[in-house]
Chain A
């Protein structure tokens, strides 16, 4: 959006949107199983932030706020049955390649599939929540932030990660 005075609310939202839309989209697309839905919901998160700030709400950590809202919207979608289904780790590559900029190298795709075979199997055995914790961690959220986004305690987050890692360790070492 051009012409917004720097520091104004629209400028702030536009900046945040540019910075955080892809992390949110990645988080949502796996959970929602639909790129279209994820695109919509991602935008909705920012519109809600806008409304909240406009109405005098105070947010110090916007990224956290946005992930939290994204998580809740994901839950809402699940409840309403609108969600397709979570994209399971074995399908990630295929899913990503159908939404890629350029046609991926088939050979590389195959290679990647082979390489992460054990890992994918391990991930598939985790609970949805454990996978969600891992995904958020990869988006750079700390334990405390993950705990806030998912409304759980820090020790629970740690336990999820530990269990996930233990599974992966076993599979990686055959």
Chain B
């Protein structure tokens, strides 16, 4: 056959592609000579050649006839002259800055070595910069006549548009496999698999391996250390690891406080084709900040499809600067229905297999397991996560403060998040705002709020105490007073948060049918109750200790505070809420003098006593 290359008496056969190029005049003289000679001698190739010519001719006739029939367009090119004059006039008003031509120059330089440069030196930037650069230029012409260079912002826009059109497709999960290399331990990169179901805000990650660690795995080289360091830095910008190797991270960081210098360059990709490298660098930044901060970030955007393929960032902390190379090894879109309820991905490693709750477990087991897992990241006390187990399923819902917190919580839930009986409904504060859901209604977000006191020196007894007993000098009194108040409110809030978690746990726990839950579940439940009861009690104790020397009434409090009804957990929550309210009233700047007496009132101290009693009781007893 003609398209087999083999040697015969007539010489080497030519394949169809070569014959076609010959027909199309695409061969060089040197290439043509042996082919011509061969055609004279070889009937097979001649037949092939004839066939190609025939097909070519037929097509040429077909299109030629059509072209001949097709007349000038409907408006006979009317209006072109006017548009041209207008364009010329506009051009005179807006002269082009010289710098505008530079990027094409760069491209030309970079492409200069290729064969095309000899034939088309000037059209070259067009030639090889691909659809990307061309589209970008069209974009430039359309949108910013003053700014002819492709800017970082424009590349970002392209990437986002490309993402948007991709995301518009069927519900799907983005699967990424990324490799993170810490410059401090280049021999042990970490590979992480990420699944993000953006539609439902669900996210899973799993570290695949930490490669071969040479020698001992300690410190910077270990997987958890690397990931937690990186996450700490990301957290500072409300980023999560699912946003690595994306322009989101780049944009978000760039928009964070502090000046950043950005730049754009083109470079070839090892896999072929070109890419844009977007770089941003924090200017005048502290080189050893107390908390890890991102100092430089670079993303590599593949020009052909505006996909981000790699990221590099440097993170500064007190021990110096680490730099991370993050490369995308794999990127897939998996239709949602192919994943058995997200994370049912068969090859998805279950990182906590020994703790995983079997799918056949009872709802009671699942509920307690959910509580237990959530509690490990303090989600019961710190977030508004509500767990309810009824009607054959466990519902885990609530609003959390940030995307990264959401990711943390999802990670803590692990395999539970993919259990068919578990329904997740976690919103970040931003999601909640977007869908019009109630914003954070938790009254207890006060951990670090400095309470402002009014000018009048709101609490004379406190100032007297600080000056008299703690020997705080006059000039520092305001500050000391602030600190005292903030501490007190902090303890009260913590006590209340743990009471809230306790109530959650007690309410969600299987009430009657003890046989329905396993022994492990009962142990977990007990551990949860004890932990929060003790924590609450501890905070109450600290509050008491702090306030007693200043405000304690002369007469010892006696009697029992009204603690309402319900379980002990209900009573504890109700009491801590009430005492917290009193504290706020006393310390708030617009408190009336009547309110200010709250802390010297025996009722307040009876509350604290009763709270302590209830918490102690809860901590001692099995539920």
Report A's interface with B, CB cutoff 8 A.
1, 9-10, 13-14, 17, 21-22, 25-26, 29, 35-36, 38-39, 42-43, 46-48, 50-52, 54-61, 64-65, 68-69, 71-73, 75-76, 79, 89, 92-93, 96-97, 99-101, 104, 112, 116, 119-120, 123, 134-135, 137-138, 142-144, 147-148, 151, 158-159, 161-162, 165-166, 168-169, 172-173
Contacts A116-B62, A143-B26 given; indicate if A69 touches B81 (C-beta within 8 A). Answer: no
Among A104, A151, A168, residue most surrounded by chain B Cβ atoms (within 10 Å): A151
Question: Could you name 21 residue pairs across A and B whose Cβ atoms are closer than 8 Å?
Answer: A10-B88, A26-B70, A46-B84, A50-B91, A51-B90, A51-B91, A55-B91, A59-B122, A60-B122, A60-B123, A65-B123, A93-B65, A96-B70, A99-B70, A100-B69, A100-B70, A116-B58, A123-B59, A138-B60, A158-B20, A169-B54
Q: Does the CB pair B73–A138 fall under 8 Å? A: no
Interface size on B, residues (CB 8 A): 67
Contacts of A134 in B (CB 8 A): 59, 63
> Which of B24, B67, B75, B119 is the one whose CB lies under 8 Å from A36?
B75
Distance (whole angstroms) from the CB of A52 to the closest CB of chain B = 8
Report the stretch among B133-141, B365-373, B592-600 that lies at the interface: B133-141
Residue of A nearest to B70 (CB): A96
Contacts of A142 in B (CB 8 A): 24-26
Contacts of A137 in B (CB 8 A): 24
Contacts A116-B58, A169-B55 given; indicate if A39 touches B77 (C-beta within 8 A). Answer: yes
User: In the bound complex, how far is the Cα of B199 from the Cα of A27, in angstroms?
Assistant: 40
User: In the bound complex, how far is the Cα of B56 from the Cα of A166, in angstroms?
Assistant: 10
B121 CB within 8 Å of chain A: yes
A-B CB proximity, top 8 nearest? A55-B96, A39-B73, A54-B91, A96-B69, A60-B122, A168-B55, A101-B71, A148-B127
B120 CB within 8 Å of chain A: yes
Contacts A55-B91, A75-B131, A92-B66 given; indicate if A43 touches B58 (C-beta within 8 A). Answer: no
> Which of A38, A55, A71, A169 is the one whose CB lies under 8 Å from B100?
A55
Number of cross-chain contacts by CB at 8 Å: 182
Q: Does the CB pair B26–A172 fall under 8 Å? A: no
Contacts of A54 in B (CB 8 A): 87-88, 91, 96
Contacts of B87 in A (CB 8 A): 47, 50-51, 54
Q: Does the CB pair B88–A144 fall under 8 Å? A: no
B52 CB within 8 Å of chain A: yes
Residue of B nearest to A102 (CB): B71
Q: Does the CB pair A72–B138 fall under 8 Å? A: yes
Contacts of B71 in A (CB 8 A): 99-101
Q: Does the CB pair B73–A99 fall under 8 Å? A: yes
Q: Does the CB pair B101–A39 fall under 8 Å? A: no
Contacts of B135 in A (CB 8 A): 72, 75-76
Q: Does the CB pair A26–B16 fall under 8 Å? A: no
Q: Does the CB pair B54–A172 fall under 8 Å? A: yes
Contacts of B391 in A (CB 8 A): none
Residue of B nearest to A145 (CB): B120
Contacts A56-B101, A104-B69 given; indicate if A119 touches B59 (C-beta within 8 A). Answer: yes
